Structure 1
Amino acid sequence: MTSLKRVTTLLTMIMTISTLNLAVAGEQKLNMPPKGYKALFNGKDLSGWKGLVGSPKTRAKMSPEELAEAQKKADQSMREHWKVVDGVLVFDGKGQSLCTDKDYKNFEMLVDWKIKKDGDSGIYLRGSPQVQIWDPATKAAKGVGSGGLYNNKKNPSKPLVTADNPVGEWNTFYIKMVGDKVTVKLNGKLVTDTVLENYWERDKPIYETGQIELQNHGNTLYFRNVFIKELD
């Protein structure tokens, strides 16, 4: 074998090994939290999650027995419509929101999400709507991107900029909530820095604690790398 052939063969081997190492690293990174964060989704099953029972206002009026019975039915529905496929949370568009089984107060959150054409979704904070997720091309969006606090009336509801990746590609939210203040970055760009209002009880401030919900509007959704860092 000539020296040139040896060098070519060696370079090919190095490139192959590097490619394999990158692939393995990518697989290991999926659903593995960065330092300081905890994984809300383990990449394998729906552990740590529950089905949706009404609103915070509705749940507060239920007796423990009523809530337990309603939760049982909601969990059954959750398992029928939310699945884990290759390390990704997939919603079929036919059920209700997916909720953390724990309530959170102040936190930082990271989450990857993906939608299809005309998709419309969101992430509820402390059980309240919502950090908006949608296809900017829909009639409802009117060109406005994701990441705004869509249900605000007094405070800004639209994102500062449109930072969505093309529909069908993955996007990443960084969400920080302290008190009633919410900061959102979409794909590294600041899109929201304002107050989240109480949608369920407009005359009251946002709840001090509550569950996080992956909300739906009857369309297929995908989530992965769902991480949280509690700030209390």
Structure 2
Amino acid sequence: MITWKRTTTLLALLLAVASLNLAGAEEGKLNQPPEGFKQLFNGKDLTGWKGLVGNPKTRAKMSPEELAKAQKKADDSMNEHWKVVDGIIVFDGKGQSLCTAKDYGDFEMLVDWKIKKDGDSGIYLRGSPQVQIWDPAVKAAGGVGSGGLYNNKKNPSKPLLTADNPVGEWNTFRIKMVGEKVSVWLNGKLVVDDTPLENYWERDKPIYETGQIELQNHGNTLYFRNVFIKELD
């Protein structure tokens, strides 16, 4: 005879198993690119990434020997402060930005990010700042959400709306860059609509045609995962 107590226990066990299976399935999807995209982060190590050396303008002035020496130093620093933990890129708040080893022109990018209270970060496109990431409550943000082209002066710099999840929760960017124009979706909502990204390093010039993608920091703990790219050119 099956008692109510035994039925309840069996139901609880089945729910626990189902929960574990669901968690396993979700974990299995981590860092697996959707159709048409490629991994920028393999989920295991920082293969395909490098440390930050200067900026596009200063790097262009370096000889190959100077750049190689500076890159070695930057890579050593990168490996001290950027780590992979359980399929997630974790930055300890020290050191410089994390950069793709490859340069990109026109592309579509997907990336999940998470910050702590008062966090401040960004995504550099073609080596140039930036698609903003921050806690809307920090003084610099003034209640403005993430996703805006923060360093623009002539063109819009603020997002169309605030679409951030609460601090400590994961957010997802979809970033599309074609020519000088950038569109950004944050958590599925359009926050930047086909807006020119200005050249921060050389204001009298248009944005560079190609360049590295950078995960930028402002001295706080950062988390990134599911970093994918689709080249459009």
Q: How many residues align?
A: 232
User: How far 1:44 sits from its partner (Å)?
Assistant: 1.1
Question: How far off its partner does 1:5 sit?
Answer: 7.4
Q: Which residue of 1 aligns with 2:229?
A: 228
Aligned to 1:148: 148
- How many angstroms apart in 2 are the aligned matches of 1:3 and 1:218? 59
Q: For residue 23 of structure 2, give the secondary structure of its aligned residue in structure 1.
A: helix
1:26 aligns with 2:29: no
The residue identity in structure 2 corresponding to 1:221 is L
SS, match of residue 78 in structure 2: helix
Q: Deviations over 1:85-138 (max 9, x none)?
A: 111111111100000000011111110111111111100000000000011111
Question: Any residues of structure 2 matched to 1:200-211 within 5 Å, and which?
Answer: 200-211=201-212
Matched, 1:196 2:197: yes
Q: Which amino acid aligns with 2:110?
A: L
Per-residue CA deviations over 1:137-179 (Å, capped at 9, x if unaligned) read 1110000000000000010000000111111111110100010
Classify the secondary structure of the residue corresponding to 2:144.
coil
Counterpart code for 2:223: Y
Counterpart in 2 of 1:44? 44
Please list, as runs of the form range in 1=range in 2, the aligned pairs for 1:23-172 lying within 5 A after superposition.
23-172=23-172
Normalised by the size of structure 2, how large is the TM-score?
0.95
CA distance in 2, matches of 1:29, 1:209: 30
How many Å separate the matches in 2 of 1:135 and 1:101?
28
SS of structure 2 residue aligned to 1:68: helix
Gaps of 5+ in 1: none
CA distance change for structure 1 residues 4 and 174 in 2, over 3 Å: closer, same or farther? Answer: same
Counterpart residue number, 1:214: 215
Compute the displacement of 1:14 (Å). 4.2
Structure 1 residues 13 and 118, CA gap change in structure 2 (3 angstroms):
closer
* 1:206 aligned partner, one-letter code: I
C-alpha distance after superposition, 1:11-66 (max 9, x if no partner): 45543342222111111011111111111111111111000000001111111111
- Structure 2 CA distance for aligned equivalents of residues 213 and 176 of structure 1: 15
Give the Cα separation in 1 of the matches to 2:140 and 2:20: 43
Q: Which one-letter code corresponds to 2:207 in the other structure?
A: I
The CA distance in 2 between the partners of 1:100 and 1:14, in whole Å, is 44
Looking at structure 2, the residues matched to 118 and 228 of structure 1 have their Cα atoms a distance apart, in angstroms, of 28
- Counterpart Cα distance in 1 of 2:57 and 2:107: 22
> RMSD value over aligned CA atoms?
1.5
Q: What is the CA–CA distance in structure 2 between the aligned matches of 1:16 and 1:115, rounded to whole Å?
A: 30
Secondary structure of 1:162's match?
coil
Identical-residue share of aligned pairs (%):
84
Structure 1 residues 140 and 5 mapped into 2: Cα distance closer, same or farther (>3 Å)? closer
Runs of 4 or more, structure 1, over 3 Å off, are 2-14
**Amino acid across the alignment from 1:60:** A
Q: Distance in 2 between matches of 1:56 and 1:152?
A: 17
Deviates most, 152-161 or 10-19: 10-19
| Structure 2 residue runs without a partner (length 5+) | none
How far did 1:4 drift? 6.7
